[in-house]
Structure formats: structure tokens, C-alpha cells
Amino acid sequence: MLLNLILVLLLLQQSVRHDPHSYSNPQQIRIEHTDLNLKVDFDKKQLHGHVTHKLKTVEGQSPTELVLDTRRLNIERCEVSTDGSNFTTAKHQLDKEDHILGSALRIALPQNVQSVRIYYHTSPEASGLQWLNPNQTADKKHPFLFSQSQAIHARSWIPTQDTPGVRFTYDAFIDVPAPLQPVMSADRHETKMLGRYRFNLEQPIPAYLLALAVGDIHFQPIGKRTGIWAEPSVVAKAAKEFEDMELMLEAVESMYGPYRWGRYDVLILPPSFPFGGMENPRMTFATPTVLAGDKSLVSLIAHEMAHSWSGNLVTNATWSDFWLNEGFTVYLERRILEKVYGKERAEMEAQIGRNILEKSLKTMKPKEQLLYIDLKGIDPDDNVTDVPYEKGFLFLLHLEKLAGRERFDAFLKGWFASHAFQSVTTPIFVAYLKKELLDKDAALANAFPLEEWINKPGLPKDIPTVVSPALGKAAGFAKGWSGNAVLAQDLPVKKWSTQEWLYFLRSLPESLPASKLKELDDAHHLTQSGNNEILAQWLEMAIRANYEPAYPRMETFLISIGRRLYVKPLYEALLKTPSGKERAKAIYAKARPGYHSITSGTIDEMMK
Ligand code: BES
Ligand code: ZN
């Protein structure tokens, strides 16, 4: 018993202590509040100014240095203060760069230090920023800048304790050239000075949720707490597409407790944004590729919004605990979809997710298939696989089915409430799960293979499946049409949702001849599809079949869109044949300058 307790304490302590992706020393001293003062210079592609961190020394510690994470930052001067208002120059040292982690910045501390201030500027190739020329934006008139800090890129634009285990509040003054406007993951205020904006966030967040975007962006409200920021030609379309945002927010609140962040707005970025969405507090950043015109891709908004509970409120303490963010969020996302759009929609998404997961597991190494994963020496950007998302989802679905919805909902709500504004590890969650659910119900504990779920590859046997009758039918048509029993023009596509189309396409045999694709294209114009999810799937099939008529569209797609999830499979498919490889290289040469470094980093690796 005592031994057990000591073990748990040790584990907990270690979990707070060790984040292999940060050089910082929060076990000695922590940032409590950050004040940013930055000027945005589009000509030099740099942010310059200073940051002041208010520090709190951990009880019993007397640190002699503050270690901050940086990457390619130009540090001009460091200052320290013991009263928070008078600053004096302090010695600092920038360590040698590690290609994943960047460089540790060491600042010598006086006794009783209260604050440090760092004068610096970013480099044009900062990994967490993308500077866009006007022609890379929707309206092609003004330049654009956006940040993407997750997982460990905040350090490329702010010297900070860049670990999700440390949380702080922040204020910022941002200067931008008029008429451009900045937004941040914070409350926004105009000031009396032209081009100067003030921000503040009173809820403590980890560094990966620091966010900034600057462009010719305008606001259109949706509900009382919700709205859209986007370029002029995009804003109305996006507000229509996402008009259910306020309803979604109410749906989550009814299940998992109040929304704790004040407003919820969405910023629509230019198409080079490397992700579908990023859950920056108060201001989700989203790819324009979800603007399908028929709300068919709004699951992305449900997902990013859900992070306001799973991720932003209760945060993975290290990137090894990433599934606590993403698996929980996929689960919440589908519960939102069910509440707002009905059970069928949620079932379809779940079945599509299961399918994708099973496919990926086939090609992944066993150690990559673990929920609680060892990422020492691994770039956390490379752990964005279907495992934390879809296996994490199935973990929670399994629990839900065994415990029953009512009990499980109360459990989850309790988890968010009791760990609000905390960073949590897998052992912390496991301890909570045991205490609140498994220890109270022996039958449940017996039926739930906890250890296997967390620490074993693959999926446990006999776990629940979600079956969507509509998708079953779509798969039936895939069989019928590919086997020449159904004609392309006789497919009941008028009634198909995007999800049914996707499932139909994904259920087709891997090796269809180009003539068959032509048949489908002639009847349903897939090469001209305005739905990017369907289009990306179709283009991948077109490459596999060497279906020439789709190639011009594929090239435009790859050159104009930088969302990694879409472009990676297309290059992968191209690289499988010698002629495809040539084509891939030629297209990539044109596309690469427009890609974000997260996307080009991934594609560079593949092209080697
Ligand atoms: N937080 C993630 C994006 C992310 C993960 C960025 C890891 C950097 C490192 C975001 O919530 C996400 O999961 N986005 C998905 C969309 C979602 C609907 C599955 C994406 O971008 O594809
Ligand atoms: Zn997510």
C-alpha cells in the first residue's frame, strides 16, 4: 500500500518533471504571465520587439538560471528584474542548435528574480510562422502572416518555456501596417494608435496555444459569442457555412459543462495552412478547404471547438500524452455532430474513422501504435497519426458502451471540471479513471482491457464497432459498380452525402483501370468536384489508375493547397511509379515555395 503510494507519487512527479521536447526548467522556476510587444515587418519577414515573463520560483528551489526554448531567434539583449519594474542587463547564452528542439537560451538569474525581459527578432524562416505574398491569399491584395505553434514551434517566434506542462496568462501589444489587422488567441482591443492592437488572455494556457495572424481580415458575427474572421471575399461564405457554431457550442456545454473562454471565433486562413484546423483559444484557425458550400465538412469546427474542453482546458502535459487531447476531442466532436446533425452523421464519421485507422495500422510499426507513446528523439509533428485520434476515440467509445452513456458523460464532465486549466499525463488520467469508474465497478473493470489499450499496439479484441447503414449501402454500390453490375449513371448519388461519396470511393478496389474512372467521371464529374475531401480522394485514385484527364486538376490542387493531410497521400501515390516520380518532382518544384514548412518538411523527407 505504502509502496504503491510512493510509486504513484514518483510517477506523478516524474510526469510533471520530464518533457523531452523542452530544454526549460519549470521544475525550478515557471513563467506565470507573458507580456508581448511585437512589431510585424512584412518586408523583412520578421517580428521584432521584446517579451517580458513574470516568473514564479518553485518552493524550495533557488535557480541560478532560467532556461527558455528558442529556435532561430536572434537574441539582442536580456534583462532581469527583482521588483517587476526596474530592469538590468543579464548575462545570457544560446546553446548549440538541435535539429528538433532548437537552442536553449540560458539567462543568469539574481536571487529573488521576478521578471525577465528579452529583446529579439525572429528569422524569416521561423518554423512557426508563414509569411505569405498577396498572391497566396484569397483576395491577392495584401500580404498575410499566420502562426502555427503546435507542437513545438512557439519557440521560433517567442523565447518561452515551450512545454505543454507549463501554463501562463498573456497580454500583447502588436503593431501592424495599416490597413491590416491582427488577431490572436486572446481578447482583442483597438488602441488609439493606428495599427496598434492590444490583446489579453486571462486564462492560463501552454505555449503551443499562443497564436497570431495578420492580414486584410474582417469580422462577421454568427451568434452572440461566435463569429468569423476572414478576407473580404471569404467572410460571408464562411459565416453561412458555419452558421451552426452557436448551436454547437450550446451542445457541448449541455454535455460537458460551461465554455470557459468567453468568445469562440474562427479565422479562415489562406490555403497554404498546413492543417485542417488549430484550436487556438477563442480563435480557431481553419483551412479554407472546408468551405464546401453545404456544411458537409463542419466536423472540423466541431473538432476544434471540442478542444476548448479536451486540450485547452485539460491539456496533455507532454506530447507522449497527445491522445488525451486528440482522442478525447474526436469523441467529443462526434457527440456534438450527433446532437446537432443527428445520429446518422455521427455514425458515418465514426465508421469512416475506424476504416482509416485499420488501414494505417497495417503499415505502422508496433511501437508507433501505442496510445501512450515514447517520443524521445522524435519530432512530435511526426506523431500526428490516426492512433492518438481514432484509437483514442475507440478507447472512450469502449468505456462509454460498457459504463452506459449517463455514467460515462458524468465521468467525462467530472474529468474536465476537476482538471480545468491543468496539464495532465496518461498516468494521471489512468489513476482518475480507476478511482472514479473502474474501482467502483468490478464487472466494468474486468471487461475493459485498460493496460492493453494504453500500452499495446493494435486494437483490443471485441471492441465496439459503429455501423452506419447508409455507408453499408454505399459500399454495396462500390462493389456493384466496380463489378459491372451497376452502371455509373444508375448510382443513387443525388441522395448521397459527402460521407457516402467518400465511403463509396474508399470501398472501391485499389486497382481500378483508368477506363473505369473515366466512366465514373463522365457520369459524375469528380475531377471538377467542389468538395476538397472528395476531390483529394478522387485524385489519389486517379494517380493510382494513371487516369490522365485528372492530372491538370491534380497539379493545380497540389500547387494551390498546402494542407498536409491532402497533399501527402497524393505525392505518396505519385512516387510509386517511375513516371509518377518525375511528375511529382516537377509539380513539387512549383508548389514547394508556397508550402508551409510543416508540409514541405514532410514532403522533403518523402522526396529524398
Ligand atoms: N491540434 C490539431 C492540429 C495539430 C496537431 C497541429 C498536432 C500540430 C500538431 C487539430 O485539432 C487537429 O486535429 N486538426 C485536424 C483536423 C481534425 C478534424 C481531425 C487536421 O488538421 O487535420
Ligand atoms: Zn485536434
Summarize pLDDT for 160-200 with one digit per residue, the tens. 999 999 999 999 999 999 999 999 999 999 999 999 999 99
The SS3 of residue 330 is helix
Please give the Cα distance from 95 to 155 (Å, whole number).
14
Cα 447 to middle of ligand 1, angstroms: 31
Amino acid at 59: E
Cα 303 to middle of ligand 2, angstroms: 6
CB 217 within 8 A of CB 142: no
If one residue of 127, 278, 561 were mutated to test the ligand 1 pocket, choosing by the most ligand atoms within 8 A of its CB, it would be 278
- Please report the beta strands in 85-167, taking only residues with DSSP state E, as ranges in sequence order: 88-89, 92-94, 103-108, 115-121, 129-132, 144-147
C-alpha cell at 272: 497554404
Summarize pLDDT for 216-237 with one digit per residue, the tens. 999 999 999 999 999 999 999 9
Q: Tell me which residue has its CA closest to atom 14 in ligand 1.
A: 277
Query: For ligand 1, what atom is nearest to the CA of residue 326?
Result: 13
**Helices 392-403, 322-341: inter-axial angle, 10-degree rounding:** 60
Query: For ligand 1, what atom is nearest to the CA of residue 274?
Result: 21
Over residues 135-152, the mean pLDDT reads 98
pLDDT confidence of 17, banded at 50, 70, 90? low
pLDDT confidence of 15, banded at 50, 70, 90? very low
Summarize pLDDT for 291-328 with one digit per residue, the tens. 999 999 999 999 999 999 999 999 999 999 999 999 99
Summarize pLDDT for 44-93 with one digit per residue, the tens. 999 999 999 999 999 999 999 999 999 999 999 999 999 999 999 999 99
The dihedrals phi and psi of 403, each to the nearest 5 degrees, come to -85, -25
Query: For ligand 1, what atom is nearest to the CA of residue 598?
Result: 8
Please give the Cα distance from 521 to 498 (Å, whole number).
16
- Is residue 11 scored above 60 in pLDDT? no
Cα 278 to middle of ligand 1, angstroms: 6
Q: Tell me which residue has its CA closest to atom 15 in ligand 1.
A: 276
- Is residue 10 scored above 60 in pLDDT? no
If one residue of 210, 384, 499 were mutated to test the ligand 1 pocket, choosing by the most ligand atoms within 8 A of its CB, it would be 384
Cα 346 to middle of ligand 1, angstroms: 19
Task: Please list every protein residue whose CB sits less than 6 Å from any atom of ligand 1.
Answer: 150-151, 275-279, 300, 303-304, 307, 326, 381, 384, 565
pLDDT confidence of 2, banded at 50, 70, 90? low
Cα torsion at 296, 300, 301, 303 (round to 10°)?
Answer: 130
pLDDT confidence of 4, banded at 50, 70, 90? low
Summarize pLDDT for 485-499 with one digit per residue, the tens. 999 999 999 999 999
CB 501 within 8 A of CB 481: no
Which residue in the block uniquely carries the three cell numbers 468505456?
399
Query: For ligand 1, what atom is nearest to the CA of residue 299?
Result: 18
Residues labelled as active-site residues: 304, 389
- Taking residue 587's Cβ as centre, other Cβ atoms within 10 Å add up to 21
Amino acid at 599: T
Cα 255 to middle of ligand 2, angstroms: 19
pLDDT score, position 18: 82
C-alpha cell at 50: 521584446
Cα 486 to middle of ligand 1, angstroms: 38
Please give the Cα distance from 158 to 161 (Å, whole number).
9
**Of the bound ligands, which one is closest to the alpha carbon of residue 209?**
1
Summarize pLDDT for 438-496 with one digit per residue, the tens. 999 999 999 999 999 999 999 999 999 999 999 999 999 999 999 999 999 999 999 99
Q: Over pLDDT 70: what percentage of the chain? A: 97
Q: Tell me which residue has its CA closest to atom 3 in ligand 1.
A: 278
If one residue of 147, 275, 310, 499 were mutated to test the ligand 1 pocket, choosing by the most ligand atoms within 8 A of its CB, it would be 275
Over residues 348-370, the mean pLDDT reads 97
Average pLDDT, the chain: 96
Q: What is the 3-state secondary structure (H, E, C) of 337-376?
A: HHHHHCHHHHHHHHHHHHHHHHHHHHHCCHHHHCCCCCCC
Query: For ligand 1, what atom is nearest to the CA of residue 333?
Result: 18
Give, in order, the Cα–Cα distances in Å from 117 to each of 37, 114, 254, 329, 366: 11, 10, 43, 36, 45
Summarize pLDDT for 100-143 with one digit per residue, the tens. 999 999 999 999 999 999 999 999 999 999 999 999 999 999 99
- Is residue 375 scored above 70 in pLDDT? yes
Q: Tell me which residue has its CA closest to atom 1 in ligand 1.
A: 278
Please give the Cα distance from 342 to 401 (Å, whole number).
19
Helical (H) or strand (E) element with 182: strand 181-184
